[in-house]
Amino acid sequence: MTEARASGLSASEGDVNLSPDRAAWIERLGPETRALLDRDAAVFLHQSLSTPCLDVLEGAEGATLTDVEGRQILDFHGNSVHQVGYGHPRVVAAVKAELDRLPFSPRRYTNRTAIALAERLTALAPPGLGKVLFAPSGAVAIGMALKLARHATGRHKTLSMWDAFHGATLDAISVGGEALFRRDVGPLLPGTEHVPPLHLARRFFGEDDRAHERLADYIDYVLEVQGDVAAVIAEPMRWTTVEPAPAGFWPRVRASCDRHGALLIFDEVPSCLGRTGTMFVTEQTGAVPDMLVIGKGLGGGIMPMAALIARTDLDVVREGALGHYTHEKSPLGAAAALATLDVIAEEGLLARAKALGQAGLERLQAMVERHPCAVAARGLGLTWGLTIGGDSPGAAEARASRLLYACLERGLSFKLGGGNVVTLCPPLTIAESELDAAFAILDEALAASGA
């Protein structure tokens, strides 16, 4: 079975730039924008998820992007980095102050800001996770987690899920399951075993409410027959389509890992820091992982910053290196992260995400009632997924694509996950008037586009 067939979904969890809708969108842009896009395409390597790009930006503030033509766009995508919005004054001030004090810390040294951030993260993390390493990206932090699992267990095999995304580096795509990233790159890491994804449990394990239990049993079986798996790595909530695990699933997997000597790694690179109404999705799973990987919004939407937070007793490497990256203890990144955590706490953003998230979910559910093409809405905190239906998977994806560009035309940006899921991920600081405007745009586009 090929990887794409195994997943049962589209080849990408993002909106690619190869569609007729993208070509039509580019034609509507002004001459200055098209000229800049041509210059961009001429100098950057092409990728079907980015170059050629969608537009050219001139500014970003709060929840709003501004392009070179002055068009303002409410950003409900943000690559999941904008928990506190773009350019939050507290984060900007912290980075500027640190820039004046200590612009760079060579990796053979430490600094006060990095130490303070490590202490803060271990205080916020689930019990027992007391050791930290920083990295300049989430994919790199995933790589450090994989290396630590090998050191700690003496094993190299991993178990992960098809369709999952854990980063774009070679080690991350080996444990990941997106065909777009794995295709045509040649041999991947050995021992990277995969199981069906949780959101497709009913397809593989029975059309009833116990399908996820059977998937958990299958994971237990794979761990048993393999006998030498170092780690199970997974998203505690499938981020690209906003699908939390059913209650009880992760505790069963946690017990299986303990029984078979495997570590449990949760990838919360996009979902951490309040997106779901708690600091980490992990807190809502009933299971504590052995390692927690976070990133994206950790840098406050300004600095590239990620972290591996590991169980204290996994501090087992005495000779060798798990990371040792040039910007591993970036004082600027740490300052941005500390300011971000301060904003989340002092502005009550966890409670705000829960309250606004529930209100937003109710509005989306009302849209499902009004628009036949919108077949399901779900959410966790200030993150929502709206599934667009169709007579076939291809028809549903085409509808979702038309909806995306209809919303962009009206000033709302979001990500398409799974080909046909509108994934809405605004800043936790977004004004209620901006939320109202975004939902109005989506409602109008659903009606006007016949999506």
Do 265 and 388 fall into the same domain?
A: no
What pLDDT does 14 receive? 62
Among residues 325, 346, 367, the one where a domain terminates is 346
Phi-psi category of residue 315: left, alpha or beta, with phi > 0 → left and psi -120 to 50 → alpha = beta
In which band, very low, low, confident or very high, does the pLDDT at 8 lie, cut at 50, 70 and 90? very low
Among residues 346, 374, 403, the one where a domain terminates is 346
Number of folded domains that form the chain: 2
CA 142 to chain CA centroid, nearest Å: 13
Whether 366 is covered by a domain: the verdict is yes
Do 179 and 285 fall into the same domain?
A: yes
In which band, very low, low, confident or very high, does the pLDDT at 6 lie, cut at 50, 70 and 90? very low
Cβ atoms within 10 Å, residue 90: 17
Whole domain around residue 69: which residue ranges? Answer: 3-76+350-449
Q: In this model, does residue 12 exceed pLDDT 60?
A: no
- Report how far residue 169's alpha carbon sits from residue 157's, in angstroms, rounded to the nearest whole number: 18
What pLDDT does 50 receive? 84
Do 38 and 106 fall into the same domain?
A: no
- Report how far residue 41's alpha carbon sits from residue 338's, in angstroms, rounded to the nearest whole number: 36
Residues 6+ apart with CB under 8 A from 47: none
Do 31 and 43 fall into the same domain?
A: yes
Do 341 and 378 fall into the same domain?
A: no
Q: In this model, does residue 171 exceed pLDDT 80?
A: yes
Do 34 and 53 fall into the same domain?
A: yes
- Report how far residue 165's alpha carbon sits from residue 167's, in angstroms, rounded to the nearest whole number: 6
- Report how far residue 176's alpha carbon sits from residue 198's, in angstroms, rounded to the nearest whole number: 14
Q: For residues 434 and 76, is the Cβ–Cβ distance under 8 A?
A: no
What pLDDT does 3 receive? 36
The pairing of strands 72-76 and 306-311 is unpaired
Whether 432 is covered by a domain: the verdict is yes
Q: Which amino acid is at 389?
A: G
Looking at residues 108-118, what average pLDDT do you find? Answer: 97
Whether 371 is covered by a domain: the verdict is yes
pLDDT tens digit string along 65-82?
A: 999 999 999 999 999 999
Q: For residues 409 and 55, is the Cβ–Cβ distance under 8 A?
A: no
Whether 63 is covered by a domain: the verdict is yes
74, 154, 264, 350, 398 from 7: Cα distances, Å: 32, 30, 22, 33, 19
Do 128 and 233 fall into the same domain?
A: yes
Q: Global pTM?
A: 0.95
Q: In this model, does residue 112 exceed pLDDT 70?
A: yes
pLDDT tens digit string along 356-411?
A: 999 999 999 999 999 999 999 999 999 999 999 999 989 999 999 999 999 999 99
Do 252 and 378 fall into the same domain?
A: no
Whether 83 is covered by a domain: the verdict is no
In which band, very low, low, confident or very high, does the pLDDT at 7 lie, cut at 50, 70 and 90? very low
Do 121 and 140 fall into the same domain?
A: yes
Do 264 and 115 fall into the same domain?
A: yes
User: How many alpha carbons fall within 13 Å on the CB side of residue 176?
Assistant: 23
What pLDDT does 450 receive? 63
Residue 270 main-chain phi, psi, to 5 deg: -90, -25
Whether 82 is covered by a domain: the verdict is no
Q: What is the DSSP string of 192-235?
A: EEEE--GGGHHHHH-SSTTHHHHHHHHHHHHHHHH--EEEEEE-
pLDDT tens digit string along 225-281?
A: 999 999 999 999 999 999 999 999 999 999 999 999 999 999 999 999 999 999 999
Q: In this model, does residue 292 exceed pLDDT 90?
A: yes
Q: In this model, does residue 102 exceed pLDDT 50?
A: yes
Whether 256 is covered by a domain: the verdict is yes
Whether 84 is covered by a domain: the verdict is no
Q: In this model, does residue 451 exceed pLDDT 60?
A: no
pLDDT tens digit string along 267-289?
A: 999 999 999 999 999 999 999 99
Among residues 331, 346, 361, the one where a domain terminates is 346
Report the CATH number that the domain containing residue 223 is assigned in CATH: 3.40.640.10
Do 93 and 174 fall into the same domain?
A: yes
Do 64 and 105 fall into the same domain?
A: no
Report the CATH number that the domain containing residue 430 is assigned in CATH: 3.90.1150.10
Q: What is the DSSP string of 114-158?
A: HHHHHHHHHHHSPTTEEEEEEESSHHHHHHHHHHHHHHHHS--EE
